[in-house]
Amino acid sequence: MNSMILPVVIAGGVGSRLWPLSRKMLPKQFIHFPQFEESLFQKTVQRADGIPNALPPLIVCNKSHQSWAVAQLKSIEVSEGGILLEPEGRNTAPAAAVAALLAKETDPNIVMLILPADHAIKEMSNFQLAIQKAEKLASQGYLVTFGIEPESPETGYGYIEKGNAIDATAGFEVLNFTEKPNKSIAESYFRDGHFFWNSGMFLFSAQSYLNELELYAPDIFEACTHSFKELKRANNLFEIPKLIFGKCRKDSIDYAVMEKTSRAAIIPLDVDWNDLGSWDSLAQLGPEDEHGNITIGDVQAVSARNSYIQSNNRFVAAVGVQDMVIVETSDAVLVAKKDSVQDVRKVVEELESADREEAVTPLKVERPWGFYDSLARGNGYQIKQIVVRPGEALSLQLHHHRAEHWVVIAGKGIVTRDDEDMTFSKNESIHIPQGVPHRLSNPFSDNLEIIEVQIGEYLGEDDIVRLEDKYGRQGGPDEVK
């Protein structure tokens, strides 16, 4: 009898190479890119949901992204097997370790399928077949990685060298892992035929992974075991304690275990896979015009060649450019050569060092209840457009340092101010004094749109005390409204 498979969706990444669209408070896995109907996170969850013999997926994400995960799961009507909240990212090895400890409580023999939340896969039948093959290896104690058959000498991926075939299975022993190589080495790997791109997906029993982690990374194993003992539990939410987990060393499954274990195996995977980690990987999705350009949004390309140009808010004109990536948002513009897009993360590092808001929060921010768009800001004031979707509501909250003035420009809603509920409609306004508990709700059938004017000595997003929230968020600066 086959063991049950627990898909573990790792959704804790930052996605800094996809800046300026991807930000700390809205990382790439939760963004609705124009190329897809759903977010990458939603597509991964749906992919996991379709695997035979699979349990509802366990989601691993940062605590500050909890509301994103909850809202996006709700919108695709997929039930999860739980959400494991990290206080801060420590890479995939610790995340998988705590997930394995949690999974063992349900079934000591459970098999885990580790799925990063930022992949695109088209050939689902091949994907499911590869999982079935990997499950046979996992039952023999192997830790299986999935290798992508390379289509080019790509330097943005790690490589895995396969060895001898394992018995009568479709798997092979792993000889070597190689981090992102230079161009000449990548070309030699491509010609060799024994090397595969490292997909970052794994399948193994929870116990096998923990055994190998304890052997090769005992410090990570110990930190995760201690963290698990102090796990905060509330229904299907599991919160890892920061004090212990924050001291855990950052490391990936590859480095901590797979490169050291003698039990590593590889299953080749031919699924039209794309690791959407940078702008050039998005550019590979097409479609291209007759000059090799991909344009998204309000874009005019003149005498341009082989470029990716995306407009999100304003008209963008590109003249005479070649092999470029140009991405416009309301508060930032990226201009990069295609062969330099891996270095976009260095821009984010510089922004973070300078404590620039552009590294953290976009001006237009999606929320479980709708979105807000920052329109203007000056000394002592800030203006936002807020859109609340039908049936949704902001948290009951108060602010210590600012007052707010709301004007309805479309739809109607209910404002709770202190203990009073008031319905207000288009062209009506209301004042929310500093320190007064308040909530904005939309129980009606159309979007509620308001203009919010904040007035105060301090307008930071950490000036919020959240008293009640339907999305399970709790007070603090991680999310506005």
Q: Are 7 and 1 in contact (CB under 8 A)?
A: no
Q: What is the pLDDT of residues 65-85, one digit of tens each?
A: 887 888 889 888 887 789 999
Checking if the pLDDT of 475 tops 60, the result is: no
Q: Which fold has domain 5-273?
A: Spore Coat Polysaccharide Biosynthesis Protein SpsA; Chain A (3.90.550)
DSSP 164-208: EE-TTSS-EEEEEEE-S--HHHHHHHHHHSSEEEEEEEEEEEHHH
The three-state secondary structure class of 398 is strand
Checking if the pLDDT of 49 tops 90, the result is: no
- Could you tell me which residues come within 8 angstroms of residue 136 by beta carbon, excluding any fewer than 6 positions away? 169, 171
Q: Which CATH number fits domain 364-468: 1.10.3720.10, 2.60.120.10, 3.30.470.20, 3.40.50.720?
A: 2.60.120.10
Checking if the pLDDT of 477 tops 50, the result is: no
Stretch 184-211: mean pLDDT: 92
Q: Are 188 and 177 in contact (CB under 8 A)?
A: no
> CA-based angle 335:349:308, to the nearest 5?
20
- Coarse DSSP helix, strand, coil percentages of the chain, rounded to the nearest 5 percent: 25, 35, 40
- Could you tell me which residues come within 8 angstroms of residue 300 by beta carbon, excluding any fewer than 6 positions away? 315, 316, 317, 318
Q: How far apart are CA 22 and CA 17, in angstroms?
A: 8
* Torsion, CA 100, CA 105, CA 109, CA 115, rounded to 10: -30
Count other Cβ atoms within 10 Å, centred on residue 133: 19
Checking if the pLDDT of 86 tops 50, the result is: yes
In the chain, domain spans = 5-273, 279-343, 364-468
Find how far residue 386's CA is from the centre of its chain: 24
Q: Tell me, what's the pLDDT at 256?
A: 95
Q: What is the pLDDT of residues 395-419, one digit of tens each?
A: 999 999 999 999 999 999 999 999 8
Q: What is the pLDDT of residues 273-296, one digit of tens each?
A: 888 888 988 888 878 999 999 999
Q: Are 277 and 339 in contact (CB under 8 A)?
A: no
Stretch 314-343: mean pLDDT: 94
pLDDT above 70 covers a percentage of the chain that reads 97
* pLDDT confidence bin for 480, thresholds 50/70/90: very low
